[in-house]
Chain A
Amino acid sequence: MTRFVLRRLAVAVPLLLIVAAISFFLVQLVPGSPAAAILGNTATQEQVDTLEQSLGLDQPVLSQFGQWLGHALQGNLGASYTTGQSVSDALAQSVAPTLSLAILSTLLTLVVGLVLGMAAAVRGGRTDRLVQWTGSLGMAIPNFWLAALLIFVFAIKLSLFPAIGYAELGTDGIGPWISHLVLPIIALSAVNLGQIAFQARAAFTDALSRDYVRTLHATGVPRRRVLYKHVLRNASVPVVQVTGLTFIFTLGGVVVLELIFTLPGMGNLMLRSVQNHDFSVVQGGVLYFSLVVVLVNLVIDVATAALDPRVRVR
């Protein structure tokens, strides 16, 4: 298993390099220069040229990439053009809100989705219809609309949660931290919940119809044990895989919610950086996202192997 993990991480290195190169050359295609963005619309060409020179943007693109890569390999991702902050610091600060949101939302959808899917498959009938109806509704509601509604009701009218912002888990404590995340998590989870519940329902229905379940029942194994020890484990494999994909899509989709809730996360940072031509931050952000995707895929593979002995990791 350790060898498997190490090999997967080793394979990730060239992948990250390719992603870094592609993103570096792609951002060069964006019209306009960071210097012009910093200096504003009224700057003279001379001022733009001077600033470009001091930022090293007058160098050939290949040489810029070489320099960036050289520094990146030493752990130095450069400094933001627009805030002067080091890119590593900016990313480190932004990763926490985004990962908090994505992980908590994924855990919530996984647990609730599994329970709902299981209940729908086991009980059938009215419960099944209710779960399907609720899941469909969740998927049909646009999350930005739900976010606006949640803010209006729970932040503005009932004053239960803050409307915007983020509190640090380390410095502000767990109460403020979670209270800033509740509304974004609900808005983000609504769509994913339906997907996970449907996947869980299908997986449970499939597992429950298998011969081994009938055999287990016939040999007198208690139903509860059949469900939790055998069916749950088998049904979890596809659910875990869908959850992993959902998590990755969630990371990409948090931008809108981070904007609505003014969460200082990766989505907001990347959006602001793209708008301001802050290429060094964009570049660093793409690397972080790629790394997270690689790690999540690895975790899914390991989890799948742990749940299903037929999947061998080599």
Chain B
Amino acid sequence: MHLPQQTRILRAAVATCGAVALTVGLAACGSSDSGGSGGSGGDDALTVSTIGPVPAFWNPYEPGAPTTTFLDPVYDTLIHYGKDGELQPWLATSWEFTDPTTLELKLRDDVTFTDGATFDADAVKANFQYAIDHKANFADQVFLANIASMNVVDPTTIDLTLTQPNPALPYDFSQASGYMASPKALAAPDGLKQEPVGSGPYVLDTGATRPGVSYVFTANPDYWAADEDAFPYDKVTLSVIADPTAAKNAAATGEVDALVVQPGTEISGFEQVTSLSGDQAGMTGAWLDTTGTTTKALADVRVRQALNYAIDREKLGQAAYQDTAIAVPGVPVPEGDPAYTDELGALYPYDPAKAKQLLAEAGYADGFEMTLISLPPADQFAQAIAGQLKEVGVTVNVETHAADLVQAVQSGTRSAGLVLQRLTGDAGQDLATAFDPNAFFNVHHGSAPEVTDLLQQAAQTSDESARNALYQQAAVAGAESSWYIATLVLQTITAYDPDVVSVEPPDRGAIHLYDYHLPS
């Protein structure tokens, strides 16, 4: 009698466990047709994983506007940036400097925004005026300040009068500065908080979108360039996955078709391409307080050059970035850039003896002490820099700041800090950004007059080869001024499922949605 009762209890246990197992089994069966629900689902759907930042609103012309990742599907730019760096017509059919300070844009006449407003010269004017009035994005300010006046010649022609020559302006119109929003929406911009209103290839599916989690875009049925083979997907999903391992797992299970991966990541069946653009790509290194306000030694250019000689950039790249970084001599100019020369490439070989000699000449034979602001993800890099400089007698105190990074920099009490400058694909602009006297870290207003003079001359030179020659001189002058040390260009590695998508990044500059093609 005793045994059967125990058996019953055991049976109950087995039955419960069985029920759980059955539920799990059923769920597994249910997943076979739903496993891809978060993913591609078919040839005409694309799911791209992103780490953000996610859009706080959809107005392309407010400070803190969404990144190009989120704006590309819904807004068209005036000009496209081609694979080889060549600018291609898009909303603007042609552009020409009728004189050094007048840029004439010819526009398409068959484009309508998703709210029914017409794209024309007045719409372009409304966009730029809005951007100027609202001080737009940080990156756009440089070129916006350049527009003195706008003249609508006819519905398909607009003349921009510039305060000073700027040959890079058409390039700007292929980037964040060139997104065109509906003038009707800009007139009542509150509507752009929740929903974008552009003329782009996709519209935001607000019903399927979960802010901060996933953003779903469906094909714009009235897209003016629907016949062109630029945006072949019916649905594009931007899936926000913060954890790199989770993103990799999602790719391995087919839930994500393309993603940015860390160096050394392998995903079975995925192909990889590298590009010089992306959220974590660009020139990294450390800026220096060239005025010497915080650390007197840094005011001496010989000391700054010594720091560059003391850094083994190849080794640094291997240690911190698994050999995927490209060493550059203190300027954001990698090999292949129009501003690159062999003379530039030969600057700052790893030479600790030369570093010590320069330090001694400057009166710092016994070295000196400085602080370096670092960020949590780049700590290994900062420590490696400190380690290499220690070898020539310079003591670097690494301070890590995360949430209070801006305050730490702006307090003007630190002598150096890590920087990541995105490469735009335009040599002049990259150099101008690197040596901008208003750069956020240049609290004590250091200047590199030789570099800025050369860049200004280049801006006034319409002949391309003459302009590039000036860029080359500016790059060498910039490198010799040693504003930055330990400079590497970080690349973005994009992995993609070749059955769903073929990613073809431009040789330089940012990857856009139109660089995602159907596999051939």
Q: Does B362 contact A (CB under 8 A)?
A: no
Interchain nearest-CB distance for A209 vs B (Å): 17
Closest residue of chain A to B2, judged by CB?
A223
**B1-49 interface with A by 8 A CB criterion:** 1-2, 5-6, 8-10, 12-13, 16-17, 20, 23-24, 26-35, 37-38
Point out the residue from A80, A164, A264 that lies within 8 Å of B249, measured CB to CB: A164
**Which stretch, B74-82, B175-183, B210-218, B452-460, touches the partner chain A?**
B210-218
Closest residue of chain A to B34, judged by CB?
A176
Q: Does B519 contact A (CB under 8 A)?
A: no
**A140-174 interface with B by 8 A CB criterion:** 148, 151, 154-156, 159-165, 167, 172, 174
Q: Does B462 contact A (CB under 8 A)?
A: no
Chain A residues with CB under 8 A of B402: 32
Chain A residues with CB under 8 A of B230: none
Q: How far is the CA of A106 from the CA of B216 in the complex (A)?
A: 33
Is B64 within 8 A of A51, CB to CB?
Answer: yes
Is B242 within 8 A of A259, CB to CB?
Answer: yes
**A165-200 interface with B by 8 A CB criterion:** 165, 167, 172, 174-176, 178-182
Interchain nearest-CB distance for B53 vs A (Å): 7
Is B13 within 8 A of A115, CB to CB?
Answer: yes
Is A179 within 8 A of B10, CB to CB?
Answer: no
Chain B residues with CB under 8 A of A155: 249, 252-253
Point out the residue from B13, B56, B57, B250 that lies within 8 Å of A119, measured CB to CB: B13
Is B64 within 8 A of A40, CB to CB?
Answer: yes
Q: How far is the CA of A15 from the CA of B255 in the complex (A)?
A: 43
Interchain nearest-CB distance for A222 vs B (Å): 8
Chain B residues with CB under 8 A of A115: 12-13, 16-17
Interchain nearest-CB distance for B418 vs A (Å): 10
Q: How far is the CA of A175 from the CA of B26 in the complex (A)?
A: 8
Interchain nearest-CB distance for A69 vs B (Å): 24
Point out the residue from B57, B245, B407 that lies within 8 Å of A32, measured CB to CB: B407
Interchain nearest-CB distance for A189 vs B (Å): 10
Q: Does A269 contact B (CB under 8 A)?
A: yes
Q: How far is the CA of A128 from the CA of B440 in the complex (A)?
A: 66
A84-B55 CB under 8 A given contacts A112-B20, A159-B35:
yes
Q: How far is the CA of A258 from the CA of B12 in the complex (A)?
A: 33
**B324-363 interface with A by 8 A CB criterion:** none
Closest residue of chain A to B29, judged by CB?
A175
Is A32 within 8 A of B138, CB to CB?
Answer: no
Q: Does A50 contact B (CB under 8 A)?
A: yes
Q: Does A108 contact B (CB under 8 A)?
A: yes
Is A164 within 8 A of B38, CB to CB?
Answer: yes
Q: Does B318 contact A (CB under 8 A)?
A: no
Chain A contributes a number of interface residues (CB within 8 A of B) equal to 71
Point out the residue from B32, B138, B193 that lies within 8 Å of A40, measured CB to CB: B138
Q: Does A45 contact B (CB under 8 A)?
A: yes
Interchain nearest-CB distance for B85 vs A (Å): 24
Chain A residues with CB under 8 A of B403: 30-32, 37, 277
Is A176 within 8 A of B30, CB to CB?
Answer: yes
Q: Does B135 contact A (CB under 8 A)?
A: yes
Q: Does A41 contact B (CB under 8 A)?
A: yes
Interchain nearest-CB distance for B152 vs A (Å): 30
Is A224 within 8 A of B243, CB to CB?
Answer: no
Against B, the Cβ 8 Å flags (1 = close, 0 = not) of A28-65 are: 00111000111111111101101100000000000000
Is B28 within 8 A of A182, CB to CB?
Answer: yes
Q: Does B246 contact A (CB under 8 A)?
A: yes
Q: How far is the CA of A175 from the CA of B440 in the complex (A)?
A: 52
Against A, the Cβ 8 Å flags (1 = close, 0 = not) of B377-420 are: 00000000000000000000000001111110110000000000
Is A156 within 8 A of B31, CB to CB?
Answer: no
Is B30 within 8 A of A178, CB to CB?
Answer: yes
Chain A residues with CB under 8 A of B32: 159
Q: Does A90 contact B (CB under 8 A)?
A: yes
Is A93 within 8 A of B210, CB to CB?
Answer: yes
Residues of chain A having any CB pair with chain B under 8 Å: 30-32, 36-45, 47-48, 50-51, 80-85, 90, 93, 108, 111-112, 115-116, 118-119, 122-123, 127, 148, 151, 154-156, 159-165, 167, 172, 174-176, 178-182, 222-224, 227, 259-262, 264, 268-269, 272, 276-277
Enumerate the 6 nearest inter-chain pairs by beta-carbon distance, A residue then B residue, closest first: A175-B30, A179-B31, A32-B403, A176-B34, A31-B404, A83-B211
A-B contact pairs, 8 of them (CB 8 A): A41-B405, A48-B406, A148-B245, A164-B253, A172-B34, A179-B35, A262-B243, A264-B214
